[in-house]
Structure 1
Amino acid sequence: MQDGRRDNAMYKALRRRGAHLLEAVRPPGVALKRKAPLPDRSASRLVDSPVFLLSSVRSGSTLLRVLLNSHSRIRAPHELHLRTLKVEPSREFSEDVMDALGLTRTELEHLLWDRILHYELVSTGKDVIVDKTPANALIWQRISSVWPNARYVFLQRHPASVVESVLNRRKNADRAEVVKEVLDYVTGVEEARRMLDGVTVKYEDLTADPARETQRICAYLGLPWEESMLDYGAKDHGPIRPVFGDWSKNIKSGKVQPARPLPREEDVPADLRDIARAWGYLS
């Protein structure tokens, strides 16, 4: 089958299966439906070029963030969940007052988000900040409008491995619901990867050769690599518990642990096969 026909088949399959957030595989000539860009407020940003680590849940983002946070110039805090921070005016006239300054409620939220990132840099004395909250993969369009000069690290893991990891972590979870959730996350990552500049890292490669993969990321960020990044257990990375990030024994060990064997092809859920193929996990 020719590449164009194969891509088109993947695209149509994903649309049929309800990848309603984003299109993971899009054939040439099919336009991406993007929301209208927000006004360019980049001049008002305290942090001009933050880094966003975009991944699904249970994809090794906490491991990568503690490796990056071990760099002398990189601040990679626990998950910040910026999208959950809302601005709610307490008086009826408050929005009119802010509108007169050209500040909508949405932009006030963006100023708050930016201030938090700046606070982290100032408080740690570092100059590059990385936010690894997995839910950012669902709002990447908004993030790219808030910070036009943002940089991105796209972290991939075999989608079926992600499903199994979620099921192992959540007792009595419904498998079909987990597959749907993972599909939303991975399609978000893939759509952002196709639209934004950045560096792509596979979790399996990271665990197999963390030195090589962190060197690639440092090169992308324009920073010298530091061997001490690999000894992340010797440093304090803040709370590692639910909502803040992973809290597994592997992370707490302080050493990079090998990835689990990849699932057999027949064990990959049908809804995830197209994205697994697009990421090179299936032939």
Structure 2
Amino acid sequence: MNGFIIGTGRCGTTLLASILDAHSDVCVPPETQLLFQYRGNGAGLHEIVEAGVHFKAGAADYIDFVQKRCPHDLRAYFDYERYLEGMSFPVATLKLLMGEFYAEIAKAKGKSVCLEQTPWYGLGIDILNELYPQARYIHMVRDGRDVAISFARTPWWHKDVGRNLARWAVEASAIATSCEQMLRPEQVLTVRYEDFVQDPERELRKICVFLQIAYEPRMLEPGTATDYRRFHKSDLNEMLSPAYRSWSEAKTSPVFKGSVGAWETYGGHDFSQVPQDVQQCLERFGYAA
């Protein structure tokens, strides 16, 4: 079975992925970011196929594309070169190229479930649903005020917290609306980050039922979660708060709770008044504005 962990970014998708990857029947590779373009970050496979460029491409071209496009060393997790070299080219459609991609990753890992964790794939539900009509989606949601602060520490996002908050509202709303309009109810599970870190076992049990797999306590044992930083091509430590870095190095607990409600004591932005669309989005997901 294929599935996707989606969200706005900085909302807990990587945390959930790292824990689920420890399950004996689930694999969650590092973010691939291959399928389609996001906010001008360059053509993805969808755009390449739409432009007809794929008719001239062979295995070597796609291997080069993955190496340049993916922010992680995907080869350290899955031998995609062997997978692509085993295909016949040219391929006529994106579905022929990528339809079995996640199934092959699961097969290589000896597992039956593969989840993609690129969060902004939630903004392309129409594309995903056409490629993987039976896929399931875990929509991770986090208080946008905390997301906005976290984004301000991210090199490729804005330092302006207010601007980040506005963008969170647009994207979180778009993802939720797309799921409601394009997917069947049984295909989507919404998980709030705050609920997950407060009671990870309870939320994981819900997720396992949703994915139709057995709950495994070992997923929450300290040290079993996958550290995706080892796959990343750049150093991500500058994005981490000192408290998070200490937790990550100690690995004495499965989740980090220190950033929940950080906006309440944050001095770099006035959250007492938020735009109406932001307020509506916060309330949509159960956050008091």
1:78-134 CA-partner distances (Å, limit 9, x unpaired): 111132234424659xxxxxxxxxx998x6223322332122112101100111111
After superposition, the Cα gap between the structure-2 partners of 1:252 and 1:182, relative to the gap in structure 1 and judged at 3 Å, is farther
* Cα distance in 2 for residues equivalent to 1:177 and 1:210: 31
> Which of these residues, 170, 176, 179, is aligned with residue 184 of structure 1?
170
Greater CA deviation, 116-125 or 222-231?
Answer: 116-125
1:141-192 CA-partner distances (Å, limit 9, x unpaired): 2111211111111111011111111012338634454234323321232113
Letter in 2 for 1:157: R
8 Å CA contact retained: 1:61, 1:155: yes
1:222 Cα deviation after fit: 1.2
* Cα distance in 2 for residues equivalent to 1:90 and 1:147: 22
Structure 2 unaligned runs (5+)? 36-43, 58-88, 265-270
Greater CA deviation, 58-67 or 261-270?
Answer: 261-270
Greater CA deviation, 181-190 or 263-272?
Answer: 263-272
> Which of these residues, 251, 266, 283, is aligned with residue 272 of structure 2?
266
> Which of these residues, 107, 111, 118, is aligned with residue 133 of structure 1?
118
Q: 2:15 aligns to what?
A: 63
8 Å CA contact retained: 1:55, 1:134: yes
Secondary structure at the aligned position of 2:93 is classed as: helix
8 Å CA contact retained: 1:160, 1:268: no
* Cα distance in 2 for residues equivalent to 1:119 and 1:127: 10
User: 2:211 matched to 1:221?
Assistant: yes
After superposition, the Cα gap between the structure-2 partners of 1:152 and 1:110, relative to the gap in structure 1 and judged at 3 Å, is same
Alpha-carbon RMSD across the aligned residues, in angstroms, is 3.1
Q: 1:257 aligns to what?
A: 256
Aligned length: 224
Alignment of 1:112-191 (within 5 A): 112-170=97-155, 173-191=159-177
8 Å CA contact retained: 2:148, 2:162: no
- State, as a whole percentage, how many aligned pairs show the same letter: 24
1:13-72 CA-partner distances (Å, limit 9, x unpaired): xxxxxxxxxxxxxxxxxxxxxxxxxxxxxxxxxxxx411111111001100001111110
> Which of these residues, 90, 93, 96, is aligned with residue 108 of structure 1?
93
Letter in 2 for 1:150: A
TM-score, structure 2 length as denominator?
A: 0.67
* Cα distance in 2 for residues equivalent to 1:181 and 1:252: 31
Structure 1 unaligned runs (5+)? 1-48, 93-102
* Cα distance in 2 for residues equivalent to 1:242 and 1:167: 20
8 Å CA contact retained: 1:186, 1:275: yes
After superposition, the Cα gap between the structure-2 partners of 1:135 and 1:252, relative to the gap in structure 1 and judged at 3 Å, is farther
Greater CA deviation, 223-232 or 83-92?
Answer: 83-92
Letter in 2 for 1:221: L
> Which of these residues, 187, 194, 216, is aligned with residue 180 of structure 2?
194
* Cα distance in 1 for residues equivalent to 2:230 and 2:277: 32
Greater CA deviation, 108-117 or 208-217?
Answer: 108-117
Secondary structure at the aligned position of 2:215 is classed as: coil
TM-score, structure 1 length as denominator?
A: 0.69
8 Å CA contact retained: 1:205, 1:213: yes
* Cα distance in 2 for residues equivalent to 1:104 and 1:184: 38
* Cα distance in 1 for residues equivalent to 2:214 and 2:21: 14
* Cα distance in 2 for residues equivalent to 1:222 and 1:245: 36
After superposition, the Cα gap between the structure-2 partners of 1:172 and 1:186, relative to the gap in structure 1 and judged at 3 Å, is closer
8 Å CA contact retained: 1:121, 1:127: yes
